[in-house]
Amino acid sequence: MQEEITKHTTKIYRETKNKKHSLSEKIKEIAIEIFIIVFAVTLSIWMHSWSEHRHEQKDVNKFLVELRENISADIKLMEQSKSTAVALSKNYDFILALKESQVQNGEIYNHLDFSILNTNWNVGTYEGFKSSGKIATIEDDQLKYKILNYYQQSIPNLVSAANFINTEQLKIQENDLFTKGIYLSLNDNSIQNKYKNLNYNMKTIVKSYEEIIKEGKEIIAKSKEMK
């Protein structure tokens, strides 16, 4: 390209010194050479931009394929975590419904389980693409918004909620539940209040799982449209 520009620039210079051509002829020849230079530069810029854009979109498509795999794995984990949360909430409902005269029932031991909710999600592909500054190359603004919302709001909020629930479960299990004996403990007002708070948050996180699973499925479907 540089050689072509130099070649036509030299022609322009020579034309200005050409004594055989009239002024109008010189202007005509110079205009032609300038047009050729401008056209060549414009074409070169366009070709470079097209090549760069094509490369960017290849990266985007590769990212979306990996993202679909990650979100699909997340959805399976969320379905499992949701089932766990639903089962735990039923246990809490049972305990909160107990009357003091009913606490002696041995069935209560079937409702004292605690389970740690998952807080590890597949964010590596997203974080890598984001750190490289390539998120902006996703041309579908709606898809881009959904991805950003999923990873920057929904997943962090879910992790925060799960961490809180896990911490509260451990507090009850380690510090409160057996300090006075199981029967007396379950009728203690402070324990009842902790179970109420835990149950409220457990029912809330079940709804969060449902909403985020829906978000993930929407991202998967939307990303397939960009093939």
Sign of the C-alpha dihedral computed for residues 220, 224, 225 and 226 taken in this order: positive
Are residue 134 and residue 22 in the same domain, yes or no? Answer: no
Are residue 23 and residue 125 in the same domain, yes or no? Answer: no
50 lies in some domain = no
54 lies in some domain = no
CB atoms within 10 A of CB 151: 21
Q: Give me the pLDDT at residue 113, please.
A: 78
Are residue 71 and residue 103 in the same domain, yes or no? Answer: yes
CA distance 126 to 77: 18
CA distance 26 to 12: 9
Q: Give me the pLDDT at residue 110, please.
A: 72
Are residue 137 and residue 82 in the same domain, yes or no? Answer: yes
Q: Could you tell me the residue range of the domain that residue 95 belongs to?
A: 59-224
Tell me the CA distances in angstroms from 32 to 26, 36, 102, one per residue in order.
Answer: 10, 6, 100
pLDDT tens track for 129-166: 998 888 988 889 999 999 999 999 999 999 999 999 99
Are residue 100 and residue 23 in the same domain, yes or no? Answer: no
Q: Which two tokens stand for residue 163?
A: 């961490």
Tell me the CA distances in angstroms from 87 to 109, 147, 176, one per residue in order.
Answer: 14, 30, 21
Q: Could you say which residues of the chain have pLDDT below 70?
A: 1-30, 33, 36-37, 40-41, 43-44, 46-53, 99-107, 175-187, 227
What is the distance, to the nearest Å, from the Cα of residue 171 to the centroid of all Cα atoms in its chain? Answer: 32
Tell me if the pTM is above 0.75.
no
pLDDT tens track for 92-109: 888 888 765 555 556 677
Sign of the C-alpha dihedral computed for residues 82, 83, 87 and 88 taken in this order: negative
